[in-house]
Amino acid sequence: MTMIQIQQRPFLTRPEQFQGVPTFIAEILARRGVQSEQELELKLKHLLPPDLKGLDQAVELIDQAIDQEKQIVIVGDYDADGATSTALMILVLKEMGANVEYLVPDRFKYGYGLTPKIAELAKQSHQPDILITVDNGISSHAGVETAQALGMQVIITDHHLTTKPTPNAEAVVNPNQLGCIFPSKALAGVGVAFYVLAKLASYRSQQGKSTSKVTQYLDLVALGTYADVASLDYNNRILVDAGLKRIQQYQCRAGILALLDIAKRDAASLRAQDLGFVIGPRINAAGRMESMRIGIESLLAPDLETAYPIAQQLNQLNVERRQVEAEMKQQAISALQHVQLQADSLPAALVMFDEQWHQGVIGIVAGRLKEQFHRPSLVFAPDEDGIHIKGSARSIEGIHIRDTIEQVAEQYPHLVSHFGGHAAAAGLTLKKDNFDEFKIVFIQSIAEMDENLFQATLWTDGELTDATLHLETLDWIDRLGPWGQKFPIPQFEGRFKVMDYRWLKDQHLKLKVSLGQQIIDAIAFNAMDRFKFNPMLGYVDLVYTLERNVFNGNTSLQLQISHLAQ
């Protein structure tokens, strides 16, 4: 296991500027770089204006296509962001009177993005006049050319990073494309789709044409944004908060309510984190295990009766996904133990491939390995053609994984066939015969980086006193959410006296601890594998978040332990 150092987050702005909140809340905000009190007001009127490069061209093309009854086909990515983006496009454009269908590329056959094969498939199946990509397409130069040669116009909406010129499509909307001045680069694919449709709606309503109230679909925007682990800057917090509130008021897609019901979660008390940990994985399971069509259909379902059986199917796929993932992770860790025995220290990056592994879950397994060992992790599975392997990469703070893969691809052009992604996550394709060489070169390029990056750090918001360790503090924290990527939920550190302990299912550790006059419950999940606990020592040093424990109608404060030392 990696040694963890615990540090307090530095102040990025001044705590004194936040009036009317307790000191420790002002400090939490300053540690997250909140610029002003206005940023605590998550109202839709504060959304950034739609100054996205390519937006006007996209809106005019879609507007004409609706009026001229042209055939529009949406091509989405096969994850929760792609599914919510596709559903959003279909629902809004149909409401405006468009002829619109969607195409779900099979990730195992066609790979990622708008490939020439997908353009040909679209032509055969739907004869589209216009192809609109959502959450993909920024590096699909060949696919765009093929689509245009087949007589289609192409509109790309995407958010993935690129250092190359954009494809020669009729319109390209992506805050991360070269020359786009839109201040938030953190929009998810569904956020970009939302901006396109919102602009289209106001454009059409000004001309007295059939339009749509796009804000009623913010539940989809919130779900896709959170599930895609987009940074929660001010703009994304507004979008997520507005969508979350719609779900809490049951004003959302039937499919979301059905999934929550099956997961035994109450929509009224849903937290933003549940979008990422409860709904997101169940939608993603469709694209990982079978076809994202099931995920999209669950979001398009007009009522609970239609949505429920689809949601049950998604839930079942998610159960299968977990089983496959657990087996793969076990095999990967066994293989790693072999590596550690040889070298007695972890390599700078974990790069693994197995003929038996499943393409659908390699990303999750890479993420779990990265969490456990604090190393950039690349996990590969065989491709259908038997010649290539597909990899999913997850990285630690400070190592930009997409750029690192690009550097390897530029220095050794024969090694990497395709790649794309973000700083923290990327995908790539190699020839199977090149795996061993790629592994050596890639680990070497990571090993040359600053060794401090490989030190795992747990950042906290300092200590709570026994006077602030109560439910009111949690009320404040809840009020200032949504919390998530780059706007992390407050987590505190402290030394507590152990009053009582017991093991649940030989795995989870339940403690009663005291601080000053307060006696409080604390729980550490999977503690047996993660921490060494000696009840004879009497004290524990904890890093924890606060949560509510509701039991027999009584609500009390409980600490959820993320780190325990003695």
| pLDDT digit string, tens, across residues 398-408 | 999 999 999 99
CA angle 129, 134, 135 (to 5 degrees): 155
Tokens of 541: 């040093």
pLDDT of residue 451: 86
Residues 6 or more apart whose Cβ sits within 8 Å of residue 248:
267, 268, 269, 270
Rounded mean pLDDT, 431-448: 95
pLDDT of residue 110: 75
Q: Rounded distance, CA 302 to CA 15, Å?
A: 47
Measured between alpha carbons, how far is residue 319 from residues 105, 278, 289 in Å?
A: 23, 12, 10
| pLDDT digit string, tens, across residues 142-163 | 999 999 999 999 999 999 988 8
Comparing C-alpha atoms, which of 231, 304, 303 is closest to residue 261?
Answer: 304
Instruction: With a cut of 70, say whether residue 331 has pLDDT above it.
Output: yes
What average pLDDT does the structure give for the chain? 93
Q: Using 50, 70 and 90 to split pLDDT, how confident is the model at 1?
A: very low
Instruction: With a cut of 80, say whether residue 538 has pLDDT above it.
Output: yes
pLDDT of residue 346: 82
Q: Rounded distance, CA 346 to CA 340, Å?
A: 6
The residue assigned the tokens 């507004």 is 238
What is the pTM for the complete model shown?
A: 0.91
Number of Cβ within a 10 Å radius of residue 435:
17
Rounded mean pLDDT, 429-445: 95
Number of Cβ within a 10 Å radius of residue 472:
10
Rounded mean pLDDT, 123-135: 96
Q: What is the DSSP letter of 487?
A: B
Residues 6 or more apart whose Cβ sits within 8 Å of residue 401:
376, 393, 394, 395, 421, 422, 423, 424, 425, 426
SS (H, E, C) 220-287: HHHHHHHHCCCCCCHHHHHHHHHHHHHHHCCCCCHHHHHHHHHCCCCHHHCCHHHHHHHHHHHHHHHH
pLDDT of residue 257: 98
pLDDT of residue 344: 60
